Chain A
Amino acid sequence: MKLAFSAIILCLVAAPASGGPQAPASPTDEDCLTCHADPDAKRANGTSVLVAKEKLASSVHGQAGLSCVDCHADLAKVSDFPHAERLEPAQCASCHDAAAAEYAKGVHARAISEGRQLAARCGDCHGAHDILPSKDPASRTHHLNLPSTCERCHGDPEVIRKSAIAVGDVGRLFEDSIHGKALRESGLIVAPNCATCHEAHAILPNENPASKVARGNVSATCGSCHEGVERLYAAGVHGSGFRSGNRKAPVCTDCHTAHRIQDPDVEAWRLEVLTECGSCHEESLRTYRDNYHGQVTALGFARMATCSDCHRPHDIFPASDPRSTVSKARRVETCQKCHARANANFAGYDPHADPEDRSRNPLLHSVGLMMKGLLGGVFLFFGLHTVLWFPRSWKARRQTPDRETPPESPSEKDEGQ
């Protein structure tokens, strides 16, 4: 209470009535700055009421000549100063009606309406008095700066927890991604930031079919930059499968992830993508692990053929399709990418053979059974032989007279006695 009083007294002393207590005119910026330029003026809770005059002046609104009450409209009719501490939020919508309408459709507006008060409002992304146009490299919403702005919440474990943000710490995921690095390290203005895929204001959840990140729209969203890849994907078995209603068919983000998208040539990603393919193609991953390619990659070394090296990453076709790189017609050429002197016999090797699968590989199945029988037989026979021999051998050792004789040299230890 003491603080509140001192603040009020300060303001009273510092504000020799400009116009008279009953003046009907709106307060001017000068009026506001009487208190808000004073570094000592404080609210009841001790926080400063200072408004950085220079920042306001150089902000997009200051440059446009807006006055305080243009945004703080509820103060336009107030003549009793100092005014109440709690004001209405600044009315951005009074000018930015289009952006506000878009914002109202988005996840942030919905979260606020559901009571999750931490959700971003205009000022959380754009700033308050120091708002700069997005074109300005210093702006919070400049293309290269936007990720750090979003990460203030979407990279803050506390906010994520309190607001129950299902996707978690996307800030960290995106920072390590090829897109994040392109923006942050390479300063690539053409690299996508959050808003490129999610929109700036109308941020729709991915379960909304109108969202740019809804499953049905993902390939088009990615394709807005990766046009060539989208074309290949659309032709391939995954794209055409998805279009024809197979909901299991993957879209870009199923293999590449949504935020932590990696350079496909990075070793860690070459290994990781195997399990991505394998999450649907379980059989193929299992049989891949049976041969040298799959064993070496399982050991953590990426200089080895992975799924996409043989099957292509995007324009994947079933082996029966002549366009497929593993079709009969093109298999040799595919093997030759690594095995320069591969011929038709070489390419006749079945890299996904399964000795367990009698119908797919009858010969291998029989050989496998034979080997299993051989191993089982030998180990059973000699296992039993050993088990029977051991106690008898133990007895024989104890009965052998020369074991009791002292060792021929004093340093020699008589083991086992």
Chain B
Amino acid sequence: MSGARPGASGRYLRRFDAFDRFLHALLMVSFLGLSLTGLPLLFAEDAWAARLARALGGPHTAGLLHRVFAFGLLLCFALHLGRVVGRLARRDWGILWGPHSMVPRPKDFTDFVGHVRWFLGRGPRPAFDRWTYWEKFDYWAVFWGMGIIGGSGLVLWFPELFATFLPGWAFNVALLIHGEEALLAVGFIFTIHFFNGHLRPEKFPMDTVIFTGVLPEDELRHERPMEYERLRESGGLELLAAAPPSRATRKWSVMIGALAVLLGLVLVGFTIYAALN
């Protein structure tokens, strides 16, 4: 079931293009960096935070790194928005509605209900399409998060500039939501997203599709039957057929992914430890 196994047909299909994977890598690196350099502030009174801040070269250096990673994440957001605008300019309305769109539709709700019924053993697994409801939630959570954390972060980054038109209380609000949203993002990505994407038994230890861009045909048929059927009927399968990833690619994908997951889990461990104290 993991991305490493081609299954019966032996054929691989492309799911993410190079740009998708580049954006995810940029997102992953900058988000991990932001978490690493930001969390010590939120838990400044814990001993691990002081040690981490010291290891990062002190809060001033950590602050500089935080801004470097913030630039990376903002760049990621801008590139994504640029691509969305580009597609709309080419009248690719499919990204606004339908199976290729991240916009929720009624099927997502029925999929959710069906999925829960399947959890409880009261029904079959829903026939998911290209984007499942939890993937859409991930997407919009990050989209919203980038706006909120990015926006408030910029306010805190350039307070003198923003103070030319924002009132004083806006900085209090920015500081509060920057921290709370950060906790939400760290907690969500490092537990829920990791579980949904990588750590749940069917995927464990790593779903490498976001790194290699391809997945075995059988896996697509099993996990996203609706998309598979559509592709089969339209002849899209042949168009998406791809060479299996090399062993080295698979190995690196697992290693990089596992490293990111591990780092994230350590950070979320610290966070939970600090929150419980």
Taking Cβ atoms with an 8 Å cutoff, the residues of A that contact B are 289-292, 294-296, 298-301, 303, 339-343, 345-350, 353, 355, 361, 363-364, 367-368, 371-372, 374-375, 378-379, 382-383, 385-386, 388-394, 396-397, 400, 402-403, 405, 407-409, 412, 415-416
Among B69-77, B82-90, B178-186, B230-238, the stretch that binds chain A is B178-186
A379: B residues at CB distance < 8 A: 187-188
B142: A residues at CB distance < 8 A: none
| Complex contact B187–A343 (CB within 8 A) | no
Complex A-B: 7 CB contacts under 8 Å: A295-B41, A299-B49, A346-B163, A349-B168, A363-B173, A393-B200, A408-B6
| Complex contact B119–A300 (CB within 8 A) | no
| Complex contact A400–B202 (CB within 8 A) | yes
| Complex contact A402–B176 (CB within 8 A) | no
B49: A residues at CB distance < 8 A: 299
Chain B 161-203 against A: per-residue CB contact (8 Å), 1 yes, 0 no?
Answer: 0011111110111011100110110011001100110001110
Taking Cβ atoms with an 8 Å cutoff, the residues of B that contact A are 1-2, 4-8, 40-42, 44-45, 49-50, 53-54, 58-60, 115-116, 118-121, 125, 134, 141, 156, 159-160, 163-169, 171-173, 175-177, 180-181, 183-184, 187-188, 191-192, 195-196, 200-202, 204-205, 218, 222, 247
Knowing that A299-B44, A386-B200, A396-B125 touch, tell me 4 more A-B residue pairs with CB under 8 angstroms.
A289-B45, A348-B169, A361-B172, A389-B119
| Complex contact A394–B201 (CB within 8 A) | yes
| Complex contact B166–A345 (CB within 8 A) | yes
| Complex contact B169–A364 (CB within 8 A) | yes
Distance between B266 CB and nearest chain A CB, rounded to angstroms: 19
| Complex contact A346–B175 (CB within 8 A) | no
Q: Kindly state the separation between the CA atoms of A291 and B175 in the bound complex, as whole angstroms.
A: 8
| Complex contact A367–B176 (CB within 8 A) | yes
Q: Kindly state the separation between the CA atoms of A389 and B192 in the bound complex, as whole angstroms.
A: 11
| Complex contact B184–A378 (CB within 8 A) | yes
Closest B residue, CB atoms, query A394: B201
Known contacts A343-B160, A402-B1, A408-B5: does B44 contact A298 (CB below 8 Å)? yes
| Complex contact B172–A346 (CB within 8 A) | no
Q: Kindly state the separation between the CA atoms of A341 and B6 in the bound complex, as whole angstroms.
A: 61
| Complex contact B202–A393 (CB within 8 A) | yes
A349: B residues at CB distance < 8 A: 159, 168-169, 171-172
Q: Kindly state the separation between the CA atoms of A386 and B196 in the bound complex, as whole angstroms.
A: 8
**Most A-side CB within 10 Å, residue of B115, B156, B175, B204:** B175
A400: B residues at CB distance < 8 A: 1, 202, 222
Q: Kindly state the separation between the CA atoms of A353 and B169 in the bound complex, as whole angstroms.
A: 9
| Complex contact A402–B168 (CB within 8 A) | no
Closest B residue, CB atoms, query A297: B44
| Complex contact A343–B200 (CB within 8 A) | no
| Complex contact A299–B172 (CB within 8 A) | no
Q: Kindly state the separation between the CA atoms of A292 and B40 in the bound complex, as whole angstroms.
A: 11
| Complex contact B163–A386 (CB within 8 A) | no
**Most A-side CB within 10 Å, residue of B134, B165, B169:** B169
| Complex contact A412–B8 (CB within 8 A) | no
| Complex contact A300–B181 (CB within 8 A) | no
Partner of B168 from A350, A383, A390 at Cβ < 8 Å: A350
Closest A residue, CB atoms, query B222: A400
| Complex contact A296–B160 (CB within 8 A) | no
Query: 3 shortest A-B CB distances, which residue pairs?
Result: A348-B168, A298-B44, A346-B163
A346: B residues at CB distance < 8 A: 159-160, 163, 168, 171
| Complex contact B183–A375 (CB within 8 A) | yes
B176: A residues at CB distance < 8 A: 355, 364, 367-368, 371
| Complex contact B188–A378 (CB within 8 A) | yes
| Complex contact B60–A303 (CB within 8 A) | yes
| Complex contact A393–B201 (CB within 8 A) | yes
Known contacts A347-B168, A371-B180: does B160 contact A382 (CB below 8 Å)? no
| Complex contact A363–B44 (CB within 8 A) | no
| Complex contact A402–B119 (CB within 8 A) | no
| Complex contact A396–B163 (CB within 8 A) | no
Known contacts A299-B44, A371-B180, A382-B192: does B60 contact A342 (CB below 8 Å)? no
**Most B-side CB within 10 Å, residue of A291, A383, A390, A393:** A393
| Complex contact B159–A367 (CB within 8 A) | no
A303: B residues at CB distance < 8 A: 60
| Complex contact A343–B163 (CB within 8 A) | yes
Q: Kindly state the separation between the CA atoms of A213 and B160 in the bound complex, as whole angstroms.
A: 47
Q: Kindly state the separation between the CA atoms of A386 and B187 in the bound complex, as whole angstroms.
A: 13
A385: B residues at CB distance < 8 A: 116, 134, 192
Distance between A95 CB and nearest chain B CB, rounded to angstroms: 61
Q: Kindly state the separation between the CA atoms of A403 and B203 in the bound complex, as whole angstroms.
A: 11
Closest A residue, CB atoms, query B125: A396
| Complex contact B163–A345 (CB within 8 A) | yes
| Complex contact B180–A375 (CB within 8 A) | yes
Known contacts A295-B44, A298-B44: does B202 contact A382 (CB below 8 Å)? no
| Complex contact A416–B169 (CB within 8 A) | no
Q: Kindly state the separation between the CA atoms of A341 and B163 in the bound complex, as whole angstroms.
A: 10
B177: A residues at CB distance < 8 A: 367, 371
| Complex contact B119–A388 (CB within 8 A) | yes
| Complex contact B59–A299 (CB within 8 A) | yes
Q: Kindly state the separation between the CA atoms of A180 and B123 in the bound complex, as whole angstroms.
A: 81
Q: Kindly state the separation between the CA atoms of A197 and B71 in the bound complex, as whole angstroms.
A: 58
| Complex contact A300–B160 (CB within 8 A) | no
Distance between A24 CB and nearest chain B CB, rounded to angstroms: 80
Distance between A9 CB and nearest chain B CB, rounded to angstroms: 71
| Complex contact B54–A396 (CB within 8 A) | no
